[in-house]
């Protein structure tokens, strides 16, 4: 069966990077690797999706309003911008989530493009079968997006060299990775993928 691949980059925004409101330690390390994936996919004219947290100022997601997190990724602020080191091409499909102040919305499958079209619909339009997922954070939005993708019967490839976790508790990321594997995700990394892409030509 023919596979249709897409890259899905989760929440590589300033607030999740060092210096940001909810910084993931070492988030900066995965950005150059994500850029290599972006180049690999773009060269093959494959779709690249980037999700972002896009919260209102007042949302139950934030601890001041009863949620779990310090305020982060507020719409149209610097913290919500994609990190400048991330080299997204102009044709990247950007999907936003977390706009409903009553919901947490960790998963990119709750995200939509600027016209309100949900990620799943966008993927189906492109007939995507295989999703290559990287970004932040392994133990929250990456995990939640991967679990949703698997439920929706996409094949999921976790980019082991391009994810990073929050690890509020030690081992959270490791646990998240095992959960994703148990649910059917597969691991891959840049060198392996590059070889596969090369074989096709």
Contacts with ligand VGL, residue ranges (CB under 6 A): 11, 16, 22, 53, 69, 106, 136-137, 140-141
* Residue (40 or 93) nearer to ligand VGL, CB: 93
Asked whether the beta carbons of 131 and 157 are under 8 A apart, the reply is yes
Smallest separation (angstroms) from ligand VGL to the CB of 89: 22
Give the C-alpha separation, 60 to 178, whole Å.
29
In the annotation, is 141 catalytic? Answer: yes
119-128 contacts: CB < 8 A, separation 24 or more? 119/49, 119/51, 119/95, 120/152, 122/49, 122/93, 122/95, 123/6, 123/49, 123/154, 126/4, 126/6, 126/47, 127/4, 128/4, 128/5, 128/6, 128/47, 128/154
Smallest separation (angstroms) from ligand VGL to the CB of 176: 10
* Residue (40 or 159) nearer to ligand VGL, CB: 159
- Which of 11, 104, 139, 148 is catalytic? The answer is 11
In the annotation, is 11 catalytic? Answer: yes
Contacts of 78 (CB under 8 A, 6+ apart): 14
Smallest separation (angstroms) from ligand VGL to the CB of 4: 26
- Which of 53, 139, 141, 161 is catalytic? The answer is 141
Smallest separation (angstroms) from ligand VGL to the CB of 93: 18
In the annotation, is 130 catalytic? Answer: no
Smallest separation (angstroms) from ligand VGL to the CB of 20: 11
- Which of 5, 15, 17, 97 is catalytic? The answer is 97
Contacts of 127 (CB under 8 A, 6+ apart): 4
- DSSP per-residue string spanning 117-176: -BHHHHHHHTT--EEEEEEE-IIIIIHHHHHHHHHTT-EEEEEEEEEE---SSTTHHHHH
* Residue (16 or 157) nearer to ligand VGL, CB: 16
* Residue (18 or 192) nearer to ligand VGL, CB: 18
* Residue (40 or 71) nearer to ligand VGL, CB: 71
Q: Mind telling me the catalytic residues?
A: 11, 97, 141
């Amino acid at each position: 069966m023919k596979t249709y691949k897409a890259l899905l980059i989760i929440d590589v925004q300033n607030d999740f990077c060092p210096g940001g409101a909810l910084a993931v330690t070492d988030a900066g390390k995965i950005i150059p690797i994500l850029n290599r994936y972006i180049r690999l996919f773009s060269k093959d004219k494959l779709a690249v999706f980037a999700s972002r947290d896009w919260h209102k100022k007042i949302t139950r997601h934030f601890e001041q309003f009863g949620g779990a997190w310090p305020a982060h990724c507020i719409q149209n602020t610097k913290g919500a911008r994609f990190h400048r080191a991330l080299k997204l091409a102009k044709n990247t499909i950007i999907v936003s989530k977390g706009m409903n102040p009553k919901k947490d919305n960790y998963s990119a499958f709750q995200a939509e493009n600027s016209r309100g079209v949900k990620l799943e619909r966008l993927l189906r339009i492109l007939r995507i079968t295989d999703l290559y997922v990287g970004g932040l954070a392994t133990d929250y939005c990456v995990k939640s997006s991967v679990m949703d993708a698997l439920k929706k019967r996409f094949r999921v490839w976790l980019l082991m060299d391009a994810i990073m976790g929050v690890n509020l508790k030690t081992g959270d990321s490791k646990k998240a990775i095992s959960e994703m594997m148990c649910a059917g995700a597969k691991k891959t990394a840049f060198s392996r993928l590059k070889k596969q892409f090369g074989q096709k030509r």
